[in-house]
Amino acid sequence: MNKLTIRTGITAACALALLSSCEKYLERPPIGQIDEEMVAGEPTVTTVSAMADAAYLPLSSTLNILGNWDWDNGLVVRNDFIIEDIASGDMLKKWAPDGDQAWMDQVGTFNFTALNQAFNGVWAYAYEGIARANRAIDQLENQSLMQQIGMDATLRNRQLGEMYFLRAFNYFGLVVNYGDVPLLTKAFKDFNEIYDAARREPEAAVWQQIAADLELAEKLLPTGKHPDASAPWRASHGAVLALQAKVALYNRQWQQVVDRVSALQQAGYYDLNTHYFDAFDVSKEFTDQEVIFAYDHRPGQVPRRGNGLTALIGWGFIAPSPDFLAAFEPNDPRLAYTVDTESRSVYKLLGATNDANKGNDDAPNNRIYIRWADVLLWEAEALNELGKPAEAIAIINGIRSRARNTPLIVGGSAPAGTLPDRDEAVADQAQVQQWIDHERRVELGFESHRFSDLRRWGTARAVLTAMGKNFQDIHYRYPVPQSEIDKSAGTITQNPGY
């Protein structure tokens, strides 16, 4: 089983299967940079490095990396925009409502069950990433293998740090969306190990594993904005510090949030771009000052690694809700850079303020996961919770200043009085939190953060029921995919209420 597990890039749906077989996965061709010949022979530095690189692929918006137009299992593309942006009421499935892929609409109205494809896709992508990271860690931690192949210690440490980061990153998404989840920290060698692992571990244990992985990653990754100048897309020291801050944020460890962000500020890796759209502009990727962690989409590669979400935009998917459009203050330049209602284009997700990538199933624009404005607003939230509203408001005003000073998409400047500073004399914590809520929504719109924000603030029910959605308290956690429960014969249990 070990050889087959490595050969095929087996997904978690198969890795956790107890009753169903793996044949349909074993029939698939190899995924990513790992092919059968590379792992069937003796390991080399090249094959070990390729295995590590392949762990990044499940973070891409590349089409069909886990199937072949498998809409029925939610595997055509990553479902972040569904479970975050559509669920939050910021995004509609399409500009013109129709019955195509109705399961996406069900997430948006909270009329879904555990059979919904979105949750299977989220689960499968995350566990595929974890399985790939585990396989790479298994080899990189093997000291005798490292000596045998003559892998440079600096390269080995950097790649190992990257894998710990990626494992933590994937588990972060799982624990936020599902709570208790199976905790897999090694490559499986036989089905007995798979049987033992097919059960949910307490949420607290998952958070502990995330923290432990990030601590190891911080020690192993070299300092500097990019650990490998020739591949700036790799997980970096700064990305580790940022994810540590986000973990602290979600666990309401406010001082740790401030401490981690302060460490990032002292490192001097990042700053707000002068122009709001520079973080998304495909021509400025890895040269801007703001992006901390992104997947590097590239067209024309074999196997493919282009951005396929842009194809869906060309097919009429991804539209703003009226509620989202109404959230922007008058003349806010960020709205036009996010979405153009006249041309039905989502510029932020197209990587350009034109339609050049619209409908392109192999587009070059990156998928951004963490950027500096997001991190600064975490710090503002933590400072407000620590009773330092003036410092929090100063951060909010810095974000607003950059926005109002960004040239309008049609040219020229925003009118005087656009996005005025918030009053730093305000000491009302609830009012400052409302300002943070607003700023995160318009600054980070369509970047797949909104629903998680509403959940962690505990405001999801009030906000979403006001929009007419069927949100209930059980929806603070998504359902575990029913297919995983069925395959485990019930050793993987369901979240309450589903």
Q: What is the mean pLDDT of the chain?
A: 92
473 DSSP 8-state letter: G
CA 20 and chain centroid, separation: 29
* Confidence at 192, pLDDT banded by 50, 70, 90: confident
Torsion, CA 205, CA 211, CA 216, CA 220, rounded to 10: 150
For residue 168, tell me if it sits in a domain: yes
The domain spanning residue 41 has which CATH number?
Answer: 1.25.40.890
What are the structure tokens assigned to 445, written together? 């719109």
**Is residue 304 one of the residues assigned to a domain?**
no
Which tokens in the block code for residue 318?
């991804």
- DSSP helix, strand, coil percent of the chain (3-state; round to 5): 50, 5, 45
Can the peptide bond before residue 303 be classed as cis, meaning omega within 30 degrees of 0? yes
CA dihedral for 310, 311, 312, 316, sign (positive or negative): positive
- State how far the alpha carbon of 396 is from the alpha carbons of 215, 393, 416, in Å: 30, 5, 19
Inside any domain, residue 398:
no
* 27: confidence class by pLDDT, cuts 50, 70, 90: very low
Give the pLDDT score at 194. 75
The better pLDDT of the pair 40, 194 is held by 194
Outline where 251-308 has alpha helix (H).
254-267
E strand or H helix at 317, and its extent?
strand 317-320
Global confidence as pTM? 0.93
Q: What local confidence, expressed as pLDDT, does residue 188 receive?
A: 83
Q: For position 211, what pLDDT does the model report?
A: 98
Interval 345-393: pLDDT, tens = 999 999 999 999 999 999 999 999 999 999 999 999 999 999 999 999 9
C-alpha closest to that of 166 among 135, 130, 219: 130
Q: For residue range 394-424, what is the model confidence (pLDDT) as tens digits?
A: 999 999 999 999 999 999 999 999 999 999 9
Contacts of 262 (CB under 8 A, 6+ apart): none
Question: Which pair of tokens denotes residue 291?
Answer: 């992006």
Q: Which domain range does residue 8 map to? A: 1-60+113-219+459-488
pLDDT value of position 298: 97
Task: Give 39's pLDDT tier (boundaries 50, 70, 90).
Answer: low
Q: Is residue 481 part of a domain?
A: yes
| In-domain check, residue 214 | yes
Number of domains making up the chain: 1
Is the model's pLDDT at 14 over the cut of 70? no
Q: Is the pLDDT of residue 74 over 50?
A: yes
The first and second tokens of residue 234, run together, are 């790799």
pLDDT in tens, 470-490: 999 999 999 999 999 998 989
pLDDT tops 50 at residue 25? no
CA–CA gap between residue 101 and residue 93 (Å, rounded): 9
Give the model's pLDDT for residue 419. Answer: 98
Q: How many CA atoms lie within 13 A of 15 on its CB side?
A: 31
Mean pLDDT, residues 290-297 taken together: 98
**CA–CA dist 289, 371 (Å, integer):** 9
The 10s digit of each residue's pLDDT in 124-174 is: 999 999 999 999 999 999 999 999 999 999 999 999 999 999 999 999 999
By residue count, the chain amounts to: 498
Please report whether residue 439 resides in a domain.
no
What pLDDT shows up at residue 40? 52
**How large a percentage of the chain has pLDDT more than 90?**
88
Neighbours of 452 (CB within 10 A): 19
Q: Answer whether residue 396 is part of any domain.
A: no
Percent of the chain clearing pLDDT 70 (strictly above): 92
DSSP secondary structure letter of residue 198: -
The answer to whether residue 330 is domain-embedded is no
Segment 28-47 mean pLDDT? 58
